[in-house]
């Protein structure tokens, strides 16, 4: 078991290294930008899967953390001079506010039946959307605003996109390994048990609430950080970061890639972002390609019907059954037929 675990870790590290080298071979602007989006949404979708896949909590308002992160860093950099200190301050504010909101929402509703959490998060996200639209002095309303990010020292400024690419990649890899450890810790195991059967968790002597609140806060903090990266990468923020589409994207990425895994959401983010990019280009061929959300709707339905455990889940399942079959064959034909 330990051995296969290490093997997978090597695979992840190797893939990470490949991604580090990638922009040295292919550094077109659009491509770097696309990859950055994948990293950002990979992080965002992973944070979503902590709730949905690992703990069984359905949130329809995950965009609010993303939006809070994006606005926090944008406003800080806009109000103060665009230095690294301001950037750092923005990140700290983003994560603190994101965590606080997750904590309050969690305390208020996680005790109740799961659909209350889904509904409250939906309502809260909408509240933030309206707030961002109306509080013009702070957010410039629907128009949004552009802002400066700190200038990079020396010759790096000429390779700014590359630096942002690497920063987002490293963030994703670090968060991936951090969350992997979390999900494989004793606490992570309790989260999965909660997803499986709350009543049984209680009768084993565990409480439920502390775990739900803890994971909700961690998820909120990570999602806020994804929002920070998003804003930095486009140097612009508007109210769309609070839109329900953001939450649906995270949901879609998680489900396509594989619920209850961490690689899944990243792969899902890759598929969705690439599909989005290429399908939009096909809009000259047929108008339907411009309405890619329709295509994704169809894709979503197909995945739910044919691969309910997503890409990674299906592969894992195939591997497991193959292993099992091999073992059974070896043992004897006692279990066969």
Partner 1 sequence: MESIIKTKDLTIAFGGHVAVNEVSVDIPKNQFTSVIGPNGAGKTTFFNMLSGQLTPTKGQVFFKGEDITKKSATERARIGIGRSFQITNVFPNITVFENVRLAIQSRENVRFQMLRHFTKYKAFADEAMSILETVLLKDRAKALAVNLSHGEKRKLEIAMLLALNTEVLLLDEPTAGMSLEEVPAILDVIKQIKEEENRTIILIEHKMDMVLGLSDQVMVLFNGEFLAQGSPDEIMENETVQAVYIGGSQDDKHTSEIGTD
Nearer residue to partner 1 within complex by CB, 26 or 334: 334
Q: Which is nearer to partner 1, 203 or 337 (CB)?
A: 203
Q: Residue 146 and residue 236: Cα distance in Å, rounded?
A: 4
CA angle 133, 136, 139 (to 5 degrees): 80
Nearer residue to partner 1 within complex by CB, 9 or 146? 9
Using the minimum distance from each CB to partner 1, give the nearer residue, 124 or 218: 218
* 77 CB-contact burial (10 Å; exposed 0-12 / middle 13-18 / buried 19+): buried
Are 94 and 232 a contacting pair, CB within 8 Å?
no
Q: What is the DSSP letter of 262?
A: S
Paired with 59 in beta bridges are none
Q: How many other C-beta atoms are found inside a 10 Å radius of the C-beta of residue 256?
A: 28
Binding site for partner 1 (CB under 8 A): 1-2, 181-182, 184-190, 192-193, 196-197, 199-207, 210, 214
Q: What are the b/e assignments for 15-53, b being 16+ CB within 10 Å?
A: ebeebeeebeeeeeeeebbbbbbbbbbbbbbbbbbbbbb
Least distance in angstroms from the C-beta of 206 to partner 1: 6
Nearer to partner 1, 190 or 312 (CB): 190
Nearer to partner 1, 304 or 335 (CB): 335
From residue 94, give the alpha-carbon distance in Å to each of 53, 138, 250, 299: 24, 15, 19, 33
Q: Find the shortest distance in angstroms from Cβ 332 to partner 1.
A: 12
């Amino acid at each position: 078991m330990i051995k296969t675990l290490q093997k997978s870790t090597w695979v992840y590290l190797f893939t990470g290294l490949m991604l580090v080298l990638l922009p040295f071979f292919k550094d077109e602007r659009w491509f770097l930008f696309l990859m950055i989006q994948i990293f950002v949404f990979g992080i965002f979708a992973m944070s979503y899967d902590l709730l949905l896949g690992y703990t069984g909590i359905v949130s329809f308002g995950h965009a609010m953390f993303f939006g809070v992160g994006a606005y926090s860093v944008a406003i800080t950099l806009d109000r103060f001079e665009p230095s690294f200190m301001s950037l750092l301050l923005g990140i700290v504010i983003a994560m603190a506010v994101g965590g606080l909101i997750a904590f309050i929402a969690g305390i208020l509703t996680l005790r109740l039946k799961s659909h209350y959490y889904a509904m409250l998060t939906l309502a809260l996200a909408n509240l933030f959307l309206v707030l961002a639209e109306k509080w013009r002095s702070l957010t410039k309303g629907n128009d949004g605003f552009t802002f400066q990010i700190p200038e990079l020292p020396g010759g790096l400024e000429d390779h700014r996109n590359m630096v942002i690419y690497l920063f987002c990649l490293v963030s994703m890899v670090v968060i991936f390994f951090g969350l992997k450890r979390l999900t494989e810790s004793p606490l992570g195991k309790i989260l999965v048990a909660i997803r499986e059967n709350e009543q049984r968790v209680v009768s084993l002597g565990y409480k439920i609430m502390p775990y739900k609140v803890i994971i909700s806060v961690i998820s909120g903090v990570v999602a806020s950080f994804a929002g920070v990266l998003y804003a930095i990468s486009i140097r612009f923020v508007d109210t769309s970061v609070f839109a329900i589409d953001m939450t649906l994207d995270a949901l879609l990425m998680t489900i396509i890639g594989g619920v209850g895994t961490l690689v899944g959401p990243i792969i899902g983010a890759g598929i969705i972002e690439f599909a989005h990019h290429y399908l939009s280009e096909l809009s000259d061929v047929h108008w339907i390609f411009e309405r890619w959300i329709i295509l994704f709707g169809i894709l979503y339905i197909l995945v739910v019907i044919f691969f309910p455990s997503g890409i990674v889940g299906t592969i894992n399942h195939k591997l497991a059954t193959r292993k099992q079959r091999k073992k059974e064959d070896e043992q004897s034909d006692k279990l066969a037929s």
